[in-house]
Amino acid sequence: MSATAERLPAGSDRALAPGTRVRLLPETWRGEGGRALFGGSPTRMLFLTPAACAVLGEGEFAVEDRRSERLARMLLDRGFAEIAAARARWTAADVTVVVPVKDRPVALARLLDALGVGGGLRVIVVDDGSADLAATIEVTRRPGVSLLCHDTSRGPAAARNTGLRAVTTDLVAFADSDVVPVPGWLEPLLAQLEDPAVGVTAPRIAGLQGHDRGGVVARYEAVRSSLDLGPLAAVVRPGAKVPYVPSACLLGRVAAFGDGFDERMHVGEDVDLVWRTVGCGWLVRYVPDAVVAHDHRVDARRWFLRKAFYGTSAAPLAMRHGDAVAPVVLGPMTLAVALAVVAQRRWSTGLAVAVVGAVTARTALSLEQSTRPWAVAARLAPYGLVASLQQSSAAMTRHWWPAMVPLALASRRARRAWLTAAVLEGLVDWRRSRSDLDPLTHVVLRRLDDLAYGAGLWWGALRHATTAPLRPARGRSFLALRRGPGRRGGEGGRRWPGTWRRGTGTHRP
C-alpha cells in the first residue's frame, strides 16, 4: 500500500481564531530586554521588533488582530510557543479511537475501561487475526464499540489503516491495546488541535504504575523507555529535540493522516507517518500534559530483543527520509571534537580549540541584533562542546559500536576513548534520568540498550543492502546560525546567566 498524507491547506486556513491564547513554552528563554528569544524546534534565536515585544508581554497573549495573529503563528510554527486556551471547538464526540489488537483480550478490556466508552467517544477495535477471536468479540460487546476483523494477521499498520478507513468523525486517535489513558488525557491534545496548522498531537507515554518498583529492567524502563519523550512540550520534526512520536497513542485530524501507515513497514511505521505528515506542511506537537501509561516489556530477553527490533527500523527509514536518520551530524565543531577524542594528540586538541574559537567568532559576528554578541557567543560555546561530545559518544557506543570493536582491538587510544565514552555517557544518563538504580546497574543496562539497538541497526542495514542509516550527515556546527527574517539565528544552548530570564514556567535541564 502506498501511504500518502493530505497536504495542509495554505493561506487563511492556518489563521488562528480571535481570542486564542498563546504562551511561550517553559524552555523558551528571553533576554536583552525581552526582545530576544532562544529555543524553538530546531533550536534558534529570534529577535523581536518593539511592537512584537509589546504584544508578547510577559510571555502569554491573546490573538486580537493581524499583528498578534502573525506573531502567534510564527511562535507556534517555530516551536517557541503552544496554545494556552482557545474556543473549545473539539470534544470527545469528534473523536473515534482506533485500537489494533491481536490476542490481548485482557489488555483490551483494560483499555476500553480506561477510555470510559460513552460520552460521545467512539471506538473501533480491529482484530488482526487473533487465535481466539471469540475472546475479542466478548470484550467488545459494549456500547460505543465497533469490531472489525482481519482473517489473518497483516500487522499493526494494516490494522490501524482498516480502522482509519471506517472513521466518520473529523478526528481520530490511535491507541495500542497495551496502553492505559490517564484521566484527563484527551483535553490537552484537543486544545492543541485548535491551531488549524496542527495535524497530529501525541501524549507522553509513561510506564504503568508499579513498574518503577519492579525488577531492574522495569526500573530502567521507567526512566529510559524509548516511548517516553520527556516532560517538555515540543514541535516534532526530524532532527529536532523531539524528532518523532510513537504510535502507541496519537490523536489528529483524519485529513492529516491521509491514507495512513505504510503497511510494508512492520517497525518504524509510526516515525515514517509522522515525518510524512510534517513533510506535507502539518505541525505535529508533543504534549506531555496528556499522559498515557504503557505496559512496558520488562522481561530481560524480550526487552533486549525489542530494542534490537527498533534498531532494524533505521534502514528503511533512512532509505525513505535520508539524513533524518543519520547517527551524527558532522558540523565543524563535532568533527573537530570527535577527531580530538579518538586521536588524542596535541595537534588534534589544538585543532579542536581552533575550530571552537572560529565557530564562536562566527556566531558573534552573525548576532548583529544582539547588544552583547561576543558575550552571548562565548557563553553558548560550552554547550556546543557538550553537544558535540554527546554526539560523538552516542555514535561510538550505540550506532557504530560494531565498527568500534576492531578499531579498539587495534588501537590503545581508540580503546581508551571508547571505554571512557561508554562509562561517562552512562553516568551522565544516570544522573539526568534520575534513575533509582545504582550507577553501575544503570550504566550496564544503558550499554545493553545501545548494544541491542546498534545490532538491530547493522542487521537492518545488511538486510536492506544499504549504508544509509550508518552514514553521518553533513551539517552546520552546534553554534551555526539559521538565517530568517530580521537576521534570526543561533542553535543550541540553555540559560545564559546574567543575560537571560525565564519566559514562563519551570525549566528542567
Q: 3 pLDDT exceeds 60?
A: no
Architecture of domain 92-298: Alpha-Beta Complex (3.90)
One-letter amino acid at 208 equals L
- Which amino acid type is present at position 213? R
Report residue 471: phi and psi, to 5°. -80, 135
pLDDT surpassing 60 at residue 167: yes
Q: Which amino acid is at 434?
A: R
Rounded distance, CA 179 to CA 203, Å? 12
The string of pLDDT tens digits covering residues 307-342 is 999 999 999 999 999 988 988 887 777 777 777 777
Q: Helices 314-321 & 269-279, crossing angle to 10 degrees?
A: 20
pLDDT value at 221 more than 70: yes
Give the confidence band of 299 by pLDDT, cuts at 50, 70, 90.
Answer: confident
Distance between CA 396 and CA 327 in Å, rounded? 10
- State the pairing for strand pair 36-39/29-31: antiparallel
In the predicted model, what is the mean pLDDT of residues 418-423?
91
Nearest to 343 by CA among 389, 276, 411: 411
Residue type, 407: L
pLDDT confidence tier of residue 483, bands split at 50, 70 and 90 = very low
Q: Report residue 6's pLDDT band, with 50, 70 and 90 as the boundaries.
A: low
**pLDDT number for residue 5:** 58
* Average pLDDT value for residue range 85-108: 91
For cell 495512513, the residue is 260
Q: What is the pLDDT of residue 480?
A: 39
Mean pLDDT on 232-248: 91
Model confidence at 457: pLDDT above 50: yes
What mean pLDDT value characterizes the chain?
84
List, for residues 41-70, the tens digit of each pLDDT value. Answer: 888 878 888 999 999 999 999 999 999 999
**pLDDT value, residue 118:** 58
Q: How far apart are CA 228 and CA 262, in angstroms?
A: 23
pLDDT band at 8 (very low <50, low <70, confident <90, very high): low
Whole-angstrom distance, CA of residue 250 vs CA of residue 247 = 6
Domain boundaries, the chain: 18-85, 92-298, 329-474
User: pLDDT band at 264, cuts 50/70/90?
Assistant: very high
The pLDDT, as a whole number, for residue 111 is: 94
Tell me: pLDDT of 214 over 70. Answer: no
The b-or-e profile of 280-306 (16+ CB within 10 A means b, else e) is: bbbbbbbbbbbbbbbbbbbeeeebbeb
More confident call, 241 vs 201: 201
Q: Using 50, 70 and 90 to split pLDDT, how confident is the model at 187?
A: very high
Q: What is the pLDDT of residue 498?
A: 29
